[in-house]
Structures are given as C-alpha cells and as structure tokens.
Amino acid sequence: MKKSLLFIAATSMFLASCESDSKKQSTLDSSIMSDHVSEYSKPDECYIYNKDKNLATLRIYSTGGDKILGQLTYSLDGKDKNSGPIYGIVRGDTIIVDYKFQSEGVYSRRQVVWVKQGDSLLEGYGDVYQVNGDVKFKNISKLTFGKSIIFEHTNCK
C-alpha cells in the first residue's frame, strides 16, 4: 500500500511537471512572437496553400536585413493540424527557417526551406536527420522543390 501511494504521488508530480513545462514553452513561444510581432502589426508577406482538403498558411514579418520571423500553420488531410512560430534567414531567393510547432499538445521543431519563384514559395523536401530532437535537412543544396506544397502570395488580413 505504501509503495502504491508513493508511485501515485511520483506519477502525479511527473505529470504536473510535464504540464508545467508545456505551459512554460507555450508562454515562451507566445512571448517571443508577441515581442517581435508587436513591432509589426501587419505581416510583410502572406502566403497560402489551399488544395483539395489541404490548407497551409504562412505569415512573414521581416526584422531587417536577412532575418525573418513569422507564423506557419498546416492543416493537411489525414494529418494532425500543427501551428507555430518560424525564425530564420533569407539567402537570395531561398528562405531557411526553424519551425517550432505544437501538434496534439506536443512541441517539435523542424527545418523548413522554401525557394521563391515569382509570387510563389516552393517548399523543399529531402533527406533529414535529427539532432537534439530537431529535424534538419542533411543537405539544403540537394532539396527538391515544387513537388508538393506550393504557397501562393495572398493579401494579408
């Protein structure tokens, strides 16, 4: 009985800790975005992907120079919706960002790369690896663009 009570107490503390960490991270992400985005009430650029039952939106705020931040959301058919902030750089016609998103209460981070072609952003795909839980591309110069999600420029609302 004593062991059972100890196990229940330990489990409760662990779950409370996990929930607390999740709330802290959510607050941190919101704080980071609001600190930067408050300077830019309206995004500099907005993009949308809307095909069949798939929807993705991208709002980009320029921070000056080659750095950008924004908000990315995917609602793809058959997959869990995910949304979160992006932070990254622009190199010529290529945008390279880290996307920190939440899906079903779990935070993840992955690299996203787009190449600009006219008024469109073509999302890149290729071989990936994990480092400290983050998903990164093995070689950005070998990515394939235009085979899947293509964001079209749209008016920011």
Domains and CATH numbers, the chain: 40-154 (2.40.128)
Full-prediction pTM beyond 0.75? Answer: no
User: How sure is the predictor about 41, in pLDDT bands with cuts at 50, 70 and 90?
Assistant: low
- The mean-pLDDT minimum among 19-28, 57-66, 117-126 falls in 19-28
- Region 84-111: mean pLDDT is 93
Question: How would DSSP label each residue in 121-151?
Answer: EEEEE--EEEETTEEEES-GGG-EEEEEEEE
> H or E stretch including 55?
strand 54-62
Mean pLDDT for 34-62 is: 81
3-state SS, residue 3 = helix
pLDDT, mean of residues 89-112: 93
Q: What is the pLDDT of residues 110-153, one digit of tens each?
A: 999 999 999 999 999 999 999 998 999 999 999 999 888 999 99
Q: CA nearest 88: which of 109, 70, 67, 108?
A: 67
